[in-house]
């Protein structure tokens, strides 16, 4: 079976204090998080790009085996809608470079807006701007992307289809790259992410993750239901079902 790394989307949430982080708090949440999970999806890069020096500090504050994924900025996906993105792409690549240089970067997440339909020419032109050495996972949020031509473009450019668990979209275990990428958003209303996965729902995902790990060398998965710390709790539950051990002594949440 291939390597499975599970984590959460983000780590810096105030409401995690007392459930994920100790009640008295911690001086460095990222350092503490790295004792619970082997990987994290950086979601802050979606809203605002930090200086590359901040990304370099993430490397220094985590163990050498700890890995990062990071979201493309929304200026690329939601504002420019994949057109004329060269400057924004350059800035994003500068931020993730310290992670790549340290051998700690697994994928850049391209989370597309639900208002963006699939247009093959635009998509191909954008994919052609991506550096070949940059591992990229693409999350569709509009149904016109769920067509053979769209998946064929992912395979042509070696980009991963993001397998999503969310309202309004099917769970498609479609593998298009040398790695698999999963995101659990939840099924809350009106907010998807305001959701607690039940034990039965978590158990149903264990065979799916194993099947993906039989197909590719690496599977990366992230829980995005961050309210109340549910993402961390659900992530640890699935990790334990799969027999994945916490990376350090803190195998249980506080």
DSSP 61-76: TS-TT-EEEEEPPHII
**Alpha-carbon distance 145 to 147, whole Å?**
6
Q: Give the CATH number of domain 3-241.
A: 3.20.20.410
C-alpha 76/C-alpha 193 separation (Å) is: 23
pLDDT of residue 37: 97
Nearest-angstrom CA–CA distance, 108 and 89 = 11
Do 112 and 140 form a contact (C-beta atoms < 8 A)? yes
- Residues 148-152: contacts with CB under 8 Å, at least 24 apart: 149/118, 149/120, 150/118, 150/120, 150/123, 151/176
Q: Model pTM?
A: 0.96
State the pLDDT at residue 44. Answer: 96
CA-to-CA distance for 14 and 109, rounded, in angstroms? 24
146: exposed, middle or buried (C-beta count within 10 Å: 0-12, 13-18, 19+)?
middle
pLDDT, residue 245, reads 84
How confident is the model over 162-174, as pLDDT tens digits? 999 999 899 999 9
pLDDT of residue 250: 54
Q: What pLDDT was estimated at residue 246?
A: 79
pLDDT tens digits, 102-139: 999 999 999 999 999 999 999 999 999 999 999 999 99
Domain spans, the chain: 3-241
- pLDDT for the residue 122: 98
Tens digits of pLDDT across the chain (254 residues): 899 999 999 999 999 999 999 999 899 999 999 999 999 999 999 999 999 999 999 999 999 999 999 999 999 999 999 999 999 999 999 999 999 999 999 999 999 999 999 999 999 999 999 999 999 999 999 999 999 999 999 999 999 999 999 998 999 999 999 999 999 999 999 999 999 999 999 999 999 999 999 999 999 999 999 999 999 999 999 999 999 987 865 545 54
């Amino acid at each position: 079976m291939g390597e499975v790394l599970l984590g959460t989307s983000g780590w810096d949430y105030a409401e995690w204090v007392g459930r994920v982080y100790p009640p008295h708090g911690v001086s460095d949440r990222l350092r503490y998080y790295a004792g619970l999970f082997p990987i994290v999806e950086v979601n802050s890069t979606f809203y605002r790009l930090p200086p590359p020096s901040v990304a370099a500090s993430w490397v220094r504050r985590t163990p050498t085996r700890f890995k990062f994924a990071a979201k493309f900025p929304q200026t690329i996906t939601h504002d420019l809608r994949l057109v004329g993105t060269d400057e924004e792409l350059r800035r994003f690549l500068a931020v993730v470079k310290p992670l790549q240089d340290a051998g700690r970067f697994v994928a850049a997440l391209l989370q597309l807006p639900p208002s963006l339909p699939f247009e093959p020419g635009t998509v191909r032109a954008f994919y052609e701007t991506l550096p070949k050495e940059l591992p990229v996972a693409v999350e569709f949020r509009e149904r016109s992307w769920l067509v053979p031509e769209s998946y064929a473009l992912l395979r042509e450019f070696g980009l991963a289809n993001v397998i999503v668990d969310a309202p309004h979209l099917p769970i498609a275990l479609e593998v298009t790259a040398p790695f698999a990428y999963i995101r659990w958003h939840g099924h809350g209303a009106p907010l998807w992410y305001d959701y607690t996965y039940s034990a039965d729902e978590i158990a149903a995902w264990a065979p799916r993750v194993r099947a993906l790990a039989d197909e590719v060398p690496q599977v990366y998965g992230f829980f995005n239901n961050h309210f109340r710390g549910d993402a961390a709790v659900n992530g640890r539950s699935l990790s334990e079902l799969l027999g994945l051990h916490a990376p350090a002594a803190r195998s249980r949440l506080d």
